Structure 1
Amino acid sequence: MKKRSVFVVAVALCALALPAMSKDELPAVVVSSEPGKATITEAVKVTGTVESVDLQKRRVSIKGSHGKVQSLELGPDVRNLKQVKVGDRVVVRYAQALTLTLMKDGKELRGKTESVGGERSRKGKRPAGAVGQKVEVTADVVAVNRRTRTITLRGPQQKVDLKVRDPEQLKQIKVGDQIHAVYTEAVALSVEPAARARP
Structure 2
Amino acid sequence: MSKIFSMVMVVACVGILAACAKTEQPVDNQASMQEQQASNLDVQRSSVQSTVATVESVNLKTRMVKLRSLEGRPFTIHVGKEAVNLPQVKAGDRVEITYTESLEVRMAEPGEVIEESSTVVGRAVPGAKPGGFGITETNITAEILDLDKANETATLKMADGSVATVKVQNPANLEKVKVGDTIAIKYLEALEITVKGKKK
The TM-score normalised by the length of structure 1 is 0.71
Distance, in Å, in 2 between the alignment partners of 1:13 and 1:59 is 26
Q: Which residue of 2 aligns with 1:117?
A: 120
Q: Which residue of 2 aligns with 1:140?
A: 143
**1:187 match: secondary structure:** strand
Please tell me whether residue 183 in structure 1 is matched to residue 187 in structure 2. yes
**2:99 match: secondary structure:** strand
Q: Which residue of 2 aligns with 1:52?
A: 57
CA offsets 1:122-180 (integer angstroms, 9 cap, x no match):
1222210111212222111223455666443211242234526385x655533322111
Moved more, 142-151 or 70-79: 142-151
Aligned length: 170
Contact 2:63-2:80 at 8 Å conserved across structures: yes
Contact 1:77-1:119 at 8 Å conserved across structures: no
Distance, in Å, in 2 between the alignment partners of 1:52 and 1:178 is 48
Distance, in Å, in 2 between the alignment partners of 1:170 and 1:39 is 20
Please tell me whether residue 89 in structure 1 is matched to residue 97 in structure 2. no
Contact 1:13-1:160 at 8 Å conserved across structures: no
Q: Which residue of 1 aligns with 2:133?
A: 130
Structure with bigger helix share is 2
**2:87 match: secondary structure:** helix
Matched letter for residue 130 of structure 1:
F
Structural RMSD (CA): 2.9
**2:7 match: secondary structure:** helix
Q: 1:134 to 1:71 in 2, by over 3 A?
A: same
Contact 2:108-2:141 at 8 Å conserved across structures: no
Distance, in Å, in 1 between the alignment partners of 2:10 and 2:171 is 25
Q: Displacement, 1:11?
A: 5.2
**2:198 match: secondary structure:** coil
Q: Which residue of 2 aligns with 1:160?
A: 164
Q: Which residue of 1 aligns with 2:75?
A: 70
Q: 1:135 to 1:164 in 2, by over 3 A?
A: same
The TM-score normalised by the length of structure 2 is 0.71
**1:12 match: secondary structure:** helix
Q: Out of 77, 98, 105, which is 1:100 matched to?
A: 105
Matched letter for residue 177 of structure 2:
I
Q: 1:140 to 1:147 in 2, by over 3 A?
A: same
In structure 2, list runs of 5 or more residues that go unmatched.
Answer: 12-18, 21-37
Distance, in Å, in 1 between the alignment partners of 2:139 and 2:57 is 37
**Taking CA–CA contacts closer than 8 Å with sequence separation of 6 or more, which of the two structures ends up with the larger relative contact order?**
2
